[in-house]
């Protein structure tokens, strides 16, 4: 059963009723996660407190990039360097090949 029915405006936005926001423990300026489920329902969860300037880490693009990086790591699709100098030399070598 739903706790509330809200109207979607012409910009596709909805307003979460204040009583529900209060029950969730979300403060003014706080964040929530929105997850679209397989049955096309929407789950709204309180997000952890996000420090100013770190909002980008919670964007869909960032989360997807993190998922791909983790998958690459788990499949061994990584290169390990013994030093910063070794890594920079490898990058320079690749950059020179691309410029040709």
Q: Are 45 and 1 within one domain?
A: yes
Q: What is the extent of the structural domain holding 75? A: 59-100
Tens digits of residue pLDDT in 4-32: 899 999 999 999 999 999 999 998 888 89
Token couple for 26: 């979300």
pLDDT at 1: 57
Residue where a domain stops, chosen among 52, 71, 92: 52
Kindly state whether residues 24 and 66 are assigned to the same domain.
no
Q: What CATH number is associated with residue 3?
A: 2.10.260.10
DSSP 78: -
Query: Does 87 lie in the same domain as 46?
Result: no
To which H or E segment does residue 24 belong? helix 18-24
pTM exceeds 0.85 for this model: no
Instruction: Tell whether 48 and 93 lie within a shared domain.
Output: no
- Are 27 and 46 in a shared domain? yes
- pLDDT, one tens digit per residue, over 62-95 is 999 999 999 999 999 999 999 999 999 999 999 9
């Amino acid at each position: 059963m739903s706790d509330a029915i809200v109207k979607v405006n012409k910009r596709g936005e909805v307003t979460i009723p204040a009583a529900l926001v209060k029950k969730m423990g979300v403060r003014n300026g706080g964040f929530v996660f929105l997850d679209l489920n397989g049955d096309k329902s929407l789950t709204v969860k309180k997000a952890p407190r996000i420090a100013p300037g770190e909002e980008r880490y919670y964007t869909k693009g960032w989360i997807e990039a993190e998922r791909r990086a983790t998958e690459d790591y788990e499949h061994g699709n990584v290169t390990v360097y013994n030093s910063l100098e070794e890594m920079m030399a490898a990058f320079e070598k690749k950059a020179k090949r691309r410029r040709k």
